[in-house]
Structure 1
Amino acid sequence: MPSGKSATPAVEIEVDDRTVRVSNPDRVYFPASGATKLDLVEYYLSVGPGIVNALEERPCMLHRFPKGLAGEKVHQKRLPPGAPPWVETVELFFPRWKRTADELCVTELAQVIWAVQMSTVEFHPWNSRRADTEKPDEWRIDLDPGPASDWAQVRRVAHVAHEVLDELGATGFPKTSGGRGMHVYVRISPDHGFADVRRAALAFAREVERRAPEDVTTAWWRKDRDPGALFVDYNQNARDHTIAAAYSVRGVPEARVSAPIGWDEVDDAEPDDFTIFTVPARFAEIGDLHASIDEHVFDLAPLLEWADRDESEGAEPPAEPD
């Protein structure tokens, strides 16, 4: 007889009118806490409307950990093989490689849970949707702290960004990154290509830098940045650049979540407050803080005017994306 511990039987998860079979449910994904694959599934079920709202109709790259965080991390653009027929995709062309890939395109929660069954921990959607993947409808403000930055600095810059957004008449929806930074999303009309959205994002970043020069940099090259400065990373609006979705778990030992927060929470919230263990109860109590984002669409025209002004005064246009 073969020796050794037998595998834990798969479990079947009912998600609306779908059934998702989850294999190896007891596999430990987060060794520091002992959280398992099934714990990850249950987390995503608990925030279902929020994660679907964040991913809906967007091409989505998957960060997979087939053996949990202790094993290899896989950045996957193509849909993993073996998907049931109800898992939807969108075909994208990648000029650098001169080939296409069918990426996951979430339209319902069961597709998220299937991706978790396929060892996905993090979901990284595009800022455009399937109807026209070349026209973003989401402007992303990434507050990326430098090596010597701290969370207090992230908070200060978030308030400056909020001030500029208010003056523009734009509604920003903040969230923790799940790492050391913060993101703010703004819904925009899908009237511009990626290049214009990046130009607008850089013009915004420069205005934040003008107001907080002691905290902020927009320097493109890392070697040119003060390690204590926070980079307002406008390049996250480039084509095929993605960041973790709202409600996405991050592949870090604490099992942190990229969690929507209110502007009134910025001064009190800490990144470690939001994990797969704490966010479900929060979501049950307050719901999805990004639920109304589609109701607040901002026209980029004022920011493109700022970009024209900056460039006419000698500022460099955005460098080519990496």
Structure 2
Amino acid sequence: MQNNAKYIFITGCAGFIGFHLTKRLLDEGFSVLGMDDMNDYYDTSLKYDRLKIVMKHPHFRFVKGSIENIELLEKLFSQYDVDTVVNLAAQPGVRYSLKNPHKYIQANVVGFANILECCKKHKIRHLIYASSSSVYGNNKNAPFSVADRTDSPVSLYAATKKANELMAYTYSHLYRLPTTGLRFFTVYGPWGRPDMALFKFANAIVKQQPIEIYNYGNMKRDFTYVDDVTESILRLIDKGPSTESPYKIYNIGNNQPVQLNYFIEVLEEHLGKKAIKKLLPMQPGDVPETFADIDELVKDINYKPKVSIEEGIKRFVEWFKDYYKIN
């Protein structure tokens, strides 16, 4: 069953950002075609629980599959009237890329090439895709600007995300395919990924297990609340592709780096428990600070992230306690 509306195609729709974006678009009256391979990089029950929420919506269609499967993608692009593609499917994680490099090449490079080919062939109005703040590597300029050089990635994950930007540029240049890359800065919030700091820390603190704090807690991260991310993407979908250039890159960040030690303090306060801290030096593939220059984004969509770290962590902890039935 398929309605006659144009679809927004979201890959990775059962992932953290993908789920929030899918839900928001459906609430706004869009028709969404969602795809996810439901892999077990982290607990799949979390993915299925996210999916259950959006599956109730009459204007949502779900297909289980991978962007690495070009035949399946071709079939979906032919079957559905897709207007905009938001590619969020990827193998995430900096540390996991040190252990399992081939997975990153397949999902993030081969899979993305398939998306580009289908978008070109089916003359998609706008391809929006996830890049990452990790492309900045050990950038010394602060805040990080989209005009800064990004040719020194310090992890394979970052290298694949940089590759996505270069591939998108080529398709925009050769075929005038409108592409917009989003460099996400440490996105957090309810329904987050269990491999990310906030979730890992909350889990360990509740169980009174030690948490590993790299660079002795002196790292700074531009933590960005998930609702600010979905609002930004929604506005970019509404706005459509750039008129002056088919190729655009934006930083999606909060523009306010927070020290990791303070981040943990706020989490302890909302959980009502103290962390057992294991202080460690910097890890390979990690960077001491991320800080997003979002002037370009604010200018183009007239929106600046609003949710403070204190409010964002409070909302996460409320969800976390409710989801895991913690008193």
Return the TM-score normalized by structure 1. Answer: 0.29
Q: Larger radius of gyration, structure 1 or 2? A: 1
Higher helix share goes to which structure? 2
